[in-house]
A and B are shown apart, each in its own frame.
Chain A
Amino acid sequence: MTTTPPLLEVENLRVVFDGVLGSVTAVNDVSLSVDRGQTIAVVGESGSGKSVTARTIMGLSTPPGRIAEGSIRLAGRELVGLTDRQWRGVRGSQIAMVFQDPMRSLNPTMKVGTQIEEAIRLHTDLSKKQARARAVELLDAVRIAAPRRRVDEYPHQLSGGMRQRVMIALALSCGPELLIADEPTTALDVTTQQQILDLMGELQADMGMAVMLITHDIGIAASYTDTVFVMYAGQVVESAPTRRLFTDPRMPYTRALLDSIPSLDSPAHEPLPAIEGSPPDLAELSAGCSFSARCPRATQTCLTQRPALIEHEAGRAWACWHPVESKEAS
């Protein structure tokens, strides 16, 4: 298992935004790794730092944001500190990204085919004609009907789901090893969400790439991923193989998240369990566990000392002084 190094290794990443009133640590000591061909999910609510993590991996930490410490290695190569020129060789060809809103991520004044062709020609020396043929192939690969006609259409002529397919085709155009999908289905309706996720799963299997799925929808994480990283207030608070995280959460935050998912057999006319309070202000983090203010299990220790993310079992780690008792142990 540990013979091949992971494709992406993020270690102790800390991203700080410097403001006039002091700096905000948006990502605090985050470590995660993605193996080749693996799908991981980074789950967290708004402001938990999941998107900042993703953007930092893509080299998009622009001022006032900066990488305060940590390293990001892709296939053994350090990405922190690359020049713009070096980044251009990584983006698109090794890591690609799909965003939340496909309407805004496509240039409304350009034909979708042209946009894919240009992305292809940036990284290969295909001729215009070959690139176009490849664009048609890609549109076909993302299951767009009549790709020959669609290449000559503009984004506004496509439906939301089709636009997201185009974005995926664009991301796949140069055969990346890692695809980062930042809330790829949030702007889509539920049936389309399902189709897009299925498509990503199939393409991943076909092309053997790894996928890092950023989502706030823990349900999506449950059905499509191998490993889940739960983020809270800029930190990874628990990581585990997907199945075990869902059956046996250890960090109280994860537990509370899972409890708040409505299920078909939950009693009718009863309010859903919710997590009291709101996430802490990242500018005023206490010395203790960031979840302590909302945690039912919090003790004095939790308020004063921050628990580290420690691998307690093989492949599972959590950051908690008083983890939820394992159901498997009992």
Chain B
Amino acid sequence: MTEPLTDPVAAAPVAKSRSRRRRPSFEIVIPGTLLALIAAACLLAPILPGLPDPNLGVLNGGEGESRMGLFSPGHLLGTDALGRDLLSRSLHGGQLSIIVGLGSVAVGLLIGGTLGIVAGYAGGAVDTVVMRVLDVFLAFPSLVLALVVATYLGPSIPNLIIAIAFFAIPSYARIARAGALSVRERDFVLSARLTGARAGHILIRHVTPRVVGSLLTYGLLICGIAIITEASLSFLGLGISPPTPSWGSMMADGKTDLSTAPQIVLVPGLLLFLTVVSLNLLADGIRHRLDSEGSSR
């Protein structure tokens, strides 16, 4: 009875995937760093030194003048039509984007993921009913409906989150269902059933961990889309009420001055662009990594 302590055949692929995990990958590090910087700047905006109040302009006693250019004294990126500091407004507006982005992903992922996992694992009638209902939602033009929901519910952060999350639910559910379907047929799920495990236990311990990876990756992509949707709603005047800054409403305010003071649109626009591109690149990078690790198992 002398079993070898480590089987070289079984050990080999492990060593490989470990070394891969430790090697820093530019696909993840670059967009990750960029995102971290943007997020840190936005979240720390209220306590950053030298940053004026975002809502202080010519009308309420701010010291800035209307439409100051880049690198003006006291206003690094200039001011908008009301003399409010663009950098400060952009960073404060970023907070809203982050909250709405993460919030809608969390809500959508939780609801959509749960529905998808349950539908996929249960199969049969449950699967059919849940998925067909979600298919109907998938067929709606999401921005138009988010518009309707936002108008109907009124502008507030939770309502924005709900309006945006609502239409991402079907996509999460589809991804979760696909994962659950493939795990359901695996022998280890069968063997868990054979030890007498409840469906709930199997869902939480065996199915969910296998689905969470792809859901989170997809969540990053959707986070970018959610931020764009929030900006679009704000641009159309259906986002958060002024004067609270938001990238979308800042761009809307600046669009009349585009020829004379393009920085009013460009500053929040560039931030929006960088944030969403980083999110997409990061999601891609993580998906690559998950794929290559998944194949070594």
Binds B, one of A8-16, A43-51, A101-109: A101-109
Q: Which residues on the B side are within 8 Å of A93 (C-beta)?
A: 196
How far does the alpha carbon of A160 sit from the alpha carbon of B206 in the complex, in Å?
21
**Nearest opposing residue in chain B for A159, CB measure:** B7
Say which residue of A58, A96, A195 sits within 8 Å of B1 (CB atoms): A195
In the complex, whether B59 has a CB less than 8 A from a CB of chain A is no
Within 8 A of B (CB), among A30-89: 58, 60, 87-89
Judging by beta carbons under 8 Å apart, are B195 and A173 in contact? yes
**Nearest opposing residue in chain B for A103, CB measure:** B187
Q: A157-B6, A158-B7, A162-B3 are in contact. Are A107 and B193 (CB under 8 A)?
A: no
Judging by beta carbons under 8 Å apart, are B3 and A99 in contact? no
Judging by beta carbons under 8 Å apart, are A118 and B297 in contact? no
**Nearest opposing residue in chain A for B124, CB measure:** A63
Q: Which residues on the B side are within 8 Å of A195 (C-beta)?
A: 1
Say which residue of B4, B188, B194 sits within 8 Å of A91 (CB atoms): B194
How far does the alpha carbon of A171 sit from the alpha carbon of B190 in the complex, in Å?
13
Judging by beta carbons under 8 Å apart, are A144 and B197 in contact? no
Q: Which residues on the A side are within 8 Å of B195 (C-beta)?
A: 91-92, 96, 118-119, 122-123, 170-171, 173-174
How far does the alpha carbon of A143 sit from the alpha carbon of B2 in the complex, in Å?
9
Judging by beta carbons under 8 Å apart, are B10 and A91 in contact? no
**Nearest opposing residue in chain B for A161, CB measure:** B3
In the complex, whether A207 has a CB less than 8 A from a CB of chain B is no
**Nearest opposing residue in chain B for A99, CB measure:** B187
In the complex, what's the smallest C-beta–C-beta distance from A115 to chain B, in angstroms?
Answer: 8
Say which residue of B1, B198, B201, B297 sits within 8 Å of A108 (CB atoms): B297
Judging by beta carbons under 8 Å apart, are A157 and B14 in contact? yes
**Nearest opposing residue in chain B for A120, CB measure:** B195
How far does the alpha carbon of A174 sit from the alpha carbon of B194 in the complex, in Å?
12
In the complex, whether A156 has a CB less than 8 A from a CB of chain B is yes
Number of interface residues of A (CB under 8 A): 41
In the complex, whether A145 has a CB less than 8 A from a CB of chain B is yes
In the complex, what's the smallest C-beta–C-beta distance from A316 to chain B, in angstroms?
Answer: 32
Within 8 A of A (CB), among B11-35: 11, 13-14
In the complex, whether B209 has a CB less than 8 A from a CB of chain A is yes
Q: A92-B196, A93-B196, A123-B196 are in contact. Are A158 and B10 (CB under 8 A)?
A: yes
In the complex, whether A146 has a CB less than 8 A from a CB of chain B is yes
Judging by beta carbons under 8 Å apart, are B205 and A170 in contact? no
Of A123, A156, A171, most B-chain CB atoms within 10 Å? A156
Q: Which residues on the A side are within 8 Å of B186 (C-beta)?
A: 104
In the complex, what's the smallest C-beta–C-beta distance from A224 to chain B, in angstroms?
Answer: 18
Judging by beta carbons under 8 Å apart, are B190 and A105 in contact? yes
How far does the alpha carbon of A92 sit from the alpha carbon of B1 in the complex, in Å?
28
How far does the alpha carbon of A81 sit from the alpha carbon of B190 in the complex, in Å?
20
Q: Which residues on the B side are within 8 Å of A97 (C-beta)?
A: 191, 194
Judging by beta carbons under 8 Å apart, are A107 and B206 in contact? yes
Q: A60-B190, A158-B10, A173-B195 are in contact. Are A110 and B3 (CB under 8 A)?
A: no
Q: Which residues on the B side are within 8 Å of A99 (C-beta)?
A: 187, 190-191
**Nearest opposing residue in chain A for B11, CB measure:** A157
How far does the alpha carbon of A230 sit from the alpha carbon of B193 in the complex, in Å?
28
Say which residue of B11, B193, B210 sits within 8 Å of A109 (CB atoms): B210
In the complex, what's the smallest C-beta–C-beta distance from A311 to chain B, in angstroms?
Answer: 32
How far does the alpha carbon of A232 sit from the alpha carbon of B7 in the complex, in Å?
39
Judging by beta carbons under 8 Å apart, are A170 and B191 in contact? yes
How far does the alpha carbon of A160 sit from the alpha carbon of B4 in the complex, in Å?
11
Say which residue of B4, B6, B188, B194 sits within 8 Å of A96 (CB atoms): B194
Say which residue of A89, A144, A146 sits within 8 Å of B196 (CB atoms): A89
Within 8 A of B (CB), among A120-176: 122-123, 143-146, 156-162, 167, 170-171, 173-174
Judging by beta carbons under 8 Å apart, are A88 and B7 in contact? no
Say which residue of A105, A160, A161 sits within 8 Å of B188 (CB atoms): A105
Q: Which residues on the B side are within 8 Å of A92 (C-beta)?
A: 194-197
Q: Which residues on the B side are within 8 Å of A159 (C-beta)?
A: 3-4, 7, 9-10
Q: A106-B188, A161-B3 are in contact. Are A156 and B197 (CB under 8 A)?
A: no
**Nearest opposing residue in chain B for A58, CB measure:** B194
12 residue pairs of the A-B complex, CB under 8 angstroms, read A60-B193, A60-B194, A92-B197, A108-B188, A118-B195, A118-B201, A118-B205, A145-B5, A156-B13, A159-B4, A159-B7, A173-B195
Which residues from chain A sit less than 8 Å from chain B, CB to CB?
A: 58, 60, 87-93, 96-97, 99, 101, 104-110, 118-119, 122-123, 143-146, 156-162, 167, 170-171, 173-174, 195
Which residues from chain B sit less than 8 Å from chain A, CB to CB?
A: 1, 3-7, 9-11, 13-14, 186-188, 190-198, 201, 205-206, 209-210, 297
